[in-house]
Amino acid sequence: MIPEYLRQNLDLFREDEYTLVIDRDEEIHIIETEEEGEANLESYFEEDAVLFHYPEKRTLPYLDAKKKACQCADKFIFIKKGVNDRWQLHILEFKKSIKYDKWKKIRNQFKYGIMNARALAAFLNIEIDEIILETAYRNDWNPRSALQTPTMMRAANSAAEVKAYEEWRGDCVWLELDSAERSFRHDKIKLDEFGKGIKVFSSSEME
């Protein structure tokens, strides 16, 4: 159940800024439109949730763009965790293709997405209990060397690129946040050639 205080706080936002999810059978389409094309993630939620549609366009206005602080992920999703008044935050970024320069940008979008989402959560009086990073993509990362193992890649690529590639292949991302290196779970969502995919969101998943 969505707390009454949260409903009142959400009422202060324009209605097109967010979607409130309270029906377990409801099919929610998370859509992102960019120059590279449109992505459409068919989504289902096993708990109450709040989806914010445009965080990358709604970063805190007093941030310095020269310091890349205005980079932000595409979507914020707050999912309620059980009966306790705690929430799981999903930071979702869409990309058509994954490669070294794209992954570096995604990491920045994750970092500053978390910081902007925390500010939003404070306004809503939401207590974030867990943060999950997610990348929805069409084309996977193919190393420039066309070789399959990181060991073989080292002969053709820089150490930084190899490290980034290994991080992408793994299931966690390390980010410097609040003057400390922190590890976050990272889920990859594969889209088809038309930019479509399916995802079931659950706060109890992999706990």
pLDDT at 145: 47
Judged against a pLDDT cut of 70, whether residue 147 lies above it is answered with: no
Judged against a pLDDT cut of 60, whether residue 29 lies above it is answered with: yes
Predicted confidence (pLDDT) per residue in 2-28, tens digit: 999 999 999 999 999 999 999 888 999
pLDDT at 127: 95
Judged against a pLDDT cut of 80, whether residue 143 lies above it is answered with: no
Q: Which residues contact 85 (CB under 8 A, 6 or more apart)?
A: 3, 127
DSSP E strands, 47-205: 49-52, 75-80, 87-97, 128-139, 172-177, 180-190, 196-201
Question: pLDDT confidence of 157, banded at 50, 70, 90?
Answer: low
pLDDT at 12: 97
Give the residue with greater pLDDT, 125 vs 148: 125
Cα–Cα dist 41/43, whole Å: 6
Cα–Cα dist 75/13, whole Å: 16
Predicted confidence (pLDDT) per residue in 70-95, tens digit: 999 999 999 999 777 899 999 999 99
Judged against a pLDDT cut of 90, whether residue 148 lies above it is answered with: no
Average pLDDT, the chain: 91
pLDDT above 70 as % of the chain: 92
What is each CA distance from 184 to 70, 101, 132, in whole angstroms? Answer: 21, 20, 6
Mean pLDDT, residues 112-121: 97
Mean pLDDT, residues 29-37: 89
Residue pointed to by tokens 């094309």? 37
Judged against a pLDDT cut of 90, whether residue 189 lies above it is answered with: yes
Predicted confidence (pLDDT) per residue in 34-79, tens digit: 877 899 999 999 999 999 999 999 999 999 988 888 999 999 999 9
Angle between helices 100-124 and 159-169 (to 10 degrees): 50
**DSSP β-bridge partners for residue 143:** none
Mean pLDDT, residues 173-179: 96
pLDDT at 150: 62
- For 120, the token pair is 């939003």
Mean pLDDT, residues 182-187: 98
